[in-house]
Amino acid sequence: MGDATFTRRGIIQTTATAAVCGSLSSLPPTVQAATATETDDGTEPCGWSQFGATEANTGALVDLSGPVAPGRRRWQTPASTRADAIAIDRSSVYATDGSELYARRRSDGTLEWRVMHDHTQVSAPAISDGRIIVGARTSDGAATIRAYTTASGTTEWTATLPTPLTGISPPTVSNGVVYAVGYGFGAGTNDQLYALDARTGTIRWSRSTGPAGIARETTAGVAVDDESVVIAGDALQSVDPTTGDVHWSQSAPTSFKTIGTTAPSVAKGRVFCTRHTDAGLMVECYDLDDGTLLWQVTLEDEPNRALAGGLTPMAVDGTRVYVGYATEQHQSTTITALTVRDGAECWRASFERNSPQRSGVAVTNETLYTHREAINTADGTIRWHAPAGLATGSPAIARDIVCFGGESVIAFETRTAG
């Protein structure tokens, strides 16, 4: 397929305060999972293994270099082949479209297998040791976690969760354990965090994360490091990955699970989260060890401008935190870069949209990808801009391709300028 054509239309404004940003630093040992690695047998991913890239939910793979100039389009699926979320391993690209899970050959996009889930909503996929794992919920509230072989899509195990649910989060896989949040069904029910054995599907433990409350448009997952599972529920909590016991808990005047709140991210020994408050859109940073609030930034001080449900998943590359949100009746999307150290603003860029940016972003060592733009992480300037309609879903990165979901799946070569 021929090269794609790109323009620089669509940007309203970009302001940069690069002096406070500093240079990109490497991630410490506690978050080394935020790199693309693979085992000798090729079963572990050499790319975007799950929602948020890795178990730390950073949305970043800092040892990869995506195309800083318009890349050659390697392949594209038919327009009717929707992809809401994507994961990539050594040989294949996996995607879900709401009720379907499928695998395509990484090199040319050929369909390898497909699994249909009638009357079932399917979460974003996660890859673990030759398995592709998803959460699934039927229209009557029955919820399961399911594992399929990456080679053929054959069912390996199905774990039925014990409570009727309104939604289930994308699973997060770390050290052979699957973590997923089930959202309660109606008044008097609780949300639950589940930990399952990734090999067998056996539930190891579960714990309540607070009353179900109102139904949410999105179901946020968790962030994991070696010693903590962090969840944003009624409170922001760090729990033990082996037992589910609470390490620390931080409450706030407004719930961390308000509509539009995204899953937390873990990097540099810190926890990053967002929430809507009466004052507007808040970004907060906590110490991972003890839950101490380190800094707090209000990005949008007009609550009606930072629309509930308009937040995009965060990304953290070790130096900067990137947060996006829709404003003004979804007519524009703003992405802001803050320093990891103290939340100082590096740059802010706004883009015209005729629909909200609800999809996530992906960050390499120098470029941030939205579903339409490639942005220089140092100063917020656009490297290239895709015409409206080319891609509308979350990007995912691997060593040789960048994939975009939406009405179809599009894979670009990771070719750098020059």
pTM: 0.84
Fold adopted by 11-413:
Methylamine Dehydrogenase; Chain H (2.130.10)
Burial tier of 196 (Cβ tally within 10 Å: 0-12, 13-18, 19+):
buried
What is the domain partition of the chain in residue ranges? 11-413
The per-residue DSSP string of 124-175 comes to --EEETTEEEEEEEETTS-EEEEEEETTT--EEEEEE-SS-EEEEPPPEEET
Tens digits of residue pLDDT in 113-168: 999 876 678 889 999 999 999 998 877 768 899 999 999 999 999 999 887 777 78
Q: What per-residue confidence (pLDDT) applies to 300? A: 67
305: which 2 tokens? 């401008």
Q: Which of 90-104, 219-233, 291-305 has the lowest mean pLDDT?
A: 291-305
Is 23 or 305 the better-scoring residue by pLDDT?
305
Mean pLDDT, range 40-65, rounded to an integer: 75
Confidence band for 341, pLDDT divided at 50, 70 and 90? very high
Question: What residue type is 156 in one-letter code?
Answer: E
**Which percentage of the chain shows pLDDT scores above 90?**
39
Most confident of 62-71, 125-134, 385-394: 125-134
Cα–Cα distance, 126 to 45 (Å, whole number): 10
Tens digits of residue pLDDT in 197-213: 999 999 999 998 877 55
Confidence band for 110, pLDDT divided at 50, 70 and 90? very high
Neighbours of 313 (CB within 10 A): 26
- Catalogue the E-assigned strands of 268-316: 270-277, 280-287, 293-300, 315-316
- Distance between start and end Cα atoms, the chain: 21
